[in-house]
Structure 1
Amino acid sequence: MKKYSAILADFDQQRAAGELRPGQKLPSVRQAAERYGCSISTVMRAYAELERRHAVYSIPQSGYYVVEEEEEEAVTDDGVIDFASSSPDLNVFPYRDFQHCLNKAIDTYKYHLFTYGDPKGLPALRETLVKHLAEDQIFAKADQIAVTSGIQQALQTLARMPFPNGRSIVLVEQPSYNLYLKFLETEGLPVKSIERTAGGIDLRRLEELFRSGDIKCFYTMSRHHNPLGTSYGVQEKKTIARLAAKYDVYVVEDDYMADLGDKRGFDPIFAYDQSGRVVYLKSFSKIIFPGLRIGAVVLPVALLDSFHAYHQQNGAALLSQAALDIYIKNGMYERHREKIYRQYESRIEILHEAVKLYNSEGLLEVADVRSGVYTQFKLPLEVNLERVVDRLQKRGVLALSGKLFYLTDYRQREKFLRISISRARPEQIQEGVKAVIEEVKRAIHV
């Protein structure tokens, strides 16, 4: 057996026998080289492999330490089929990876983590985000990036602050992100609407509003729309970017779920912006875990001063920012993104197969969504939507009414359920879809 393999095998054997405890420090590279009669580079290669497996973690200037054994699944079977939650599956949270990054962050940045820091965000993280965002065709300098405590904080700042075009109205899609709509209504901010369906939006109507509607900015989710789950096509994104330049309207592009889609041919509106009219927002909560509360905003140069003047300085915790910086640099983020994307893609496929099986009468119109976590189940007009939601809940199936995703005074509402697969386990999805269709049939025949 080669020395490299012997080191790995010996580690596994000692761990299985309980001779290596969580948190225990491994022999130094030099000590291990002497023990195994090999070169220092061989030991370093073996330790790097153990770290890649998350069997150990390293602390600069200190050494390598044994990782705690992986915990059992966080969720037990409580009989509930959750089509309502938008949070990531508890069982795919990268606890161990992020714990390692937190340890490294404390050791790397030390006392700098406990100061107020740069209000724009940790400089190291913003530099890392320059490269990270460039992979999605988001090209910007570090000075154009602001780190915020979640995307909601950034949206509120953008809604309140003045824009160079001197206009006041926020244009929103209907339906749209419910918490943002509620904020706009609560604050009494001027709002106009444009209808969006699974088929997209009317671009002629969008141009009319841009031309004559006193529109300050247009808030849109170009990819994995919440609640529809659908994404704009390339031509729609190009047209929106062109219209923004033509009529001096800013586009606030909420790409909160960018990492849960197939990146091939999946560029955001920002990639087609030639005029500096697109504000790009990205969240890290949906891909890692909600409690992280870190968002990134890429701002056109013309908006920088206004944004930072209006932005409340209660940004994301520096320790979380430092850990995320290390998490991305170490390649852990990309590995986790691929893992969770494949898992959710599989669940979406199971959902479509279940619809094909049970929706033979065509009672539901289901958006053809193949990635992300949301899709729309559009119901017949004669169905009492709230009654269906209530009856499903009594059967242990949770789903959200589409009514929640509209402004209060908006009247052209579609009747639908927002279905999320992020917390629905694969073996539950077919049963849940069957229950939805049974309750829709029941509502029609009442």
Structure 2
Amino acid sequence: MKYKSVEKYIIELIHNGSLNSGEKIQSIRRLSEEFNCSRSTIIRAYKELEDKHYIYSIAKSGYYVVEHQDNQDSNKENFDFLSAVPDTELIPYKDFQHCMNTAIRSYKKELFAYYNIEGLYSLKEQLKKYLQDFQIFTNTQNIHITTGAQQAINILLNMEFPNDRKNILVEQPTYHGAMEIVKNNKNKVFGIDVTKKIDLFLLEEIFKNHDIKIFYLMTRFQNPTGHSYSEHEKKYIVSLLNKYDVYLIEDDYLGDLDFNNKSHTFYYYDNSNRVIYVKSFSKIYMPGLRIGCAVMPKSLGEKFKNLKFTHDFNSPILSQGALEIYMKNGMFSKHLKKLKLLYQKKIKILLFYCNKYLGRNIRYSVPNNGFFITIYLPVSVDSTQITNTLNANNVHVKDCKDMYLNFNNQYNSIRLCASSIKIDKIEKGIKLIAQTVENMKIN
């Protein structure tokens, strides 16, 4: 992709000293002319560089180079409330290396051939058993292995459904990967606010009046709010799907962290084959694994397979084999127990210090688990500006602007993630965020 070339070019300029800390980089117009590409390509590249903390933007001024880690004082504290990846101390490198080696021996023939596009049958068998813990009872034929959950979401949002409709509905804010897909979709996209809780009356009005093909949502511990749907909401939404002939993408990316055994999925309540259940292993296991799955009715499977074929012939066989062995040997369940306890502890500590330092004047979401919370900023404090200011002081947070269809001050917010931050740094990090908010309110 062209934007990747632009991104690589800027990174090389920073690393070789051609661009220094605080220095302004080329304008979008000038760089688009230099690379002979559209401005949107340059904007995409700059957005990627911002997310990776190479550059930051100042409104009506341009883009500037961040003081990068290689040039920073090694003793300077870093507060990572941004990275939504598993805690590095819990990533099972040695166990997974063993599983990789075993997979190479076990699947050596499959590694050198194009395998079944639906995925490795032995992994699907393990997933079938694993999904039963979520009260999802299906057969292997309805489980489709994908190259990450992102691929499944992309295919489903662009797929034709039996209701012969085009319009899409998404929560907002929501996972920026899904938001990027729908923003680039040629069909009409609607959003429904979930900053507090979903308005079921409004949801029905949207279903009733806007010919919705499919609704994308996150079941629990939503990104970025941490919101989870109640059992009543799940049942009611499923009834609306049936009433108005709408399909649902249920992204249950953090369902593994739920301690509540009575919490069910939308899929559990669906008796009309309208819910497609999507699962990822990136947030709870290894982001680089790039393995996800989608559980769907048989009637949708063939169309899904045909569209997946246009993305790739099959998802990485080695990763599939290693995950299958990891699950089969009981290593995954052992890893998950540690992870659940750690993240529960982290989110409680994070919320404790938010309550202590943010006070009553700043609203923030209060999830019961997971690892995301959203801080809703005062109107006078711009989310991009405070993100850049915090970033310059080694406090890394996520600006939520790209998690909305159309941004306005009503949704002025930043996301904190508890997964990568060390427990002993949480208090100081929250204190710095609170102080920065207060300083920017005054100014």
TM-score of the superposition, structure 1-length normalised? 0.79
1:208 lines up with 2:187 in the alignment:
no
Contact 1:171 1:191 in 2 (8 A): yes
1:109-258 aligned at under 5 Å gives the runs 109-197=107-195, 199-258=196-255
SS in 1 for 2:95: helix
1:351 lines up with 2:350 in the alignment:
yes
Equivalent position of 2:397 in the other structure: 399
- The CA distance in 2 between the partners of 1:359 and 1:181, in whole Å, is 29
Query: What amino acid sits opposite 2:290 in the alignment?
Result: R
Shift of 1:144: 0.4
Equivalent position of 1:294 in the other structure: 291
Query: What amino acid sits opposite 1:189 in the alignment?
Result: N
SS in 2 for 1:182: helix
TM-score of the superposition, structure 2-length normalised? 0.80
1:2-81 aligned at under 5 Å gives the runs 79-81=77-79
1:328 lines up with 2:353 in the alignment:
no
Match 2:414 to one of 417, 428, 434: 417
Shift of 1:413: 4.1
- The CA distance in 2 between the partners of 1:193 and 1:369, in whole Å, is 21
Shift of 1:412: 7.3
Shift of 1:248: 1.2
SS in 2 for 1:235: helix
1:67-122 per-position Cα deviation (integer Å, ceiling 9, x unaligned): xxxxxxxxx97621011111122221111111111122223333233221111000
1:134-167 per-position Cα deviation (integer Å, ceiling 9, x unaligned): 1111111100010000011111111221100111
Match 1:108 to one of 106, 109, 113: 106
Shift of 1:243: 0.8
1:375-414 per-position Cα deviation (integer Å, ceiling 9, x unaligned): 111122222322222221222101112212112x354742
Shift of 1:427: 0.6
Equivalent position of 2:261 in the other structure: 264
* Between 255-264 and 286-295, the greater mean CA deviation after superposition: 255-264
Query: What amino acid sits opposite 1:301 in the alignment?
Result: K
Change in 2 beyond 3 A, CA 1:369/1:136: same
Change in 2 beyond 3 A, CA 1:77/1:304: farther
Q: Based on CA coordinates, which of the two structures has the bigger radius of gyration?
A: 1
Contact 1:366 1:375 in 2 (8 A): yes
* Between 338-347 and 254-263, the greater mean CA deviation after superposition: 254-263
Change in 2 beyond 3 A, CA 1:168/1:262: same
Query: What amino acid sits opposite 1:147 in the alignment?
Result: I
Match 1:92 to one of 83, 87, 90: 90
- The CA distance in 1 between the partners of 2:261 and 2:118, in whole Å, is 31
Aligned residues: 368
1:258-300 per-position Cα deviation (integer Å, ceiling 9, x unaligned): 2122242222111111111000000011111110000000011
Contact 1:283 1:295 in 2 (8 A): yes
Shift of 1:212: 2.2
Change in 2 beyond 3 A, CA 1:356/1:192: closer
Query: What amino acid sits opposite 2:391 in the alignment?
Result: Q
Contact 2:100 2:322 in 1 (8 A): yes
Shift of 1:187: 3.6
SS in 2 for 1:307: helix
Identity %: 38
- The CA distance in 2 between the partners of 1:142 and 1:122, in whole Å, is 10
- The CA distance in 2 between the partners of 1:310 and 1:156, in whole Å, is 10
- The CA distance in 2 between the partners of 1:239 and 1:342, in whole Å, is 31
SS in 1 for 2:117: coil
Query: What amino acid sits opposite 2:357 in the alignment?
Result: Y
Q: Kindly report the root-mean-square deviation, in angstroms, between the aligned alpha carbons of the 2 structures.
A: 1.6
1:284-343 per-position Cα deviation (integer Å, ceiling 9, x unaligned): 111111100000000112211211122233432111101111111111111111111111
- The CA distance in 2 between the partners of 1:428 and 1:264, in whole Å, is 32
Equivalent position of 2:383 in the other structure: 385
- The CA distance in 1 between the partners of 2:146 and 2:76, in whole Å, is 35
1:280 lines up with 2:277 in the alignment:
yes
Contact 1:363 1:379 in 2 (8 A): no
Contact 2:364 2:374 in 1 (8 A): yes
Query: What amino acid sits opposite 2:240 in the alignment?
Result: L
SS in 2 for 1:382: coil
SS in 2 for 1:231: coil
- The CA distance in 2 between the partners of 1:101 and 1:390, in whole Å, is 41
SS in 2 for 1:116: coil
Alignment gaps of 5+ in structure 1: 1-75
Contact 1:122 1:322 in 2 (8 A): yes
Shift of 1:244: 0.7
1:439 lines up with 2:442 in the alignment:
no
Equivalent position of 2:424 in the other structure: 427
1:364-385 per-position Cα deviation (integer Å, ceiling 9, x unaligned): 2121113111011112222232
- The CA distance in 1 between the partners of 2:249 and 2:221, in whole Å, is 15
* Between 395-404 and 277-286, the greater mean CA deviation after superposition: 395-404
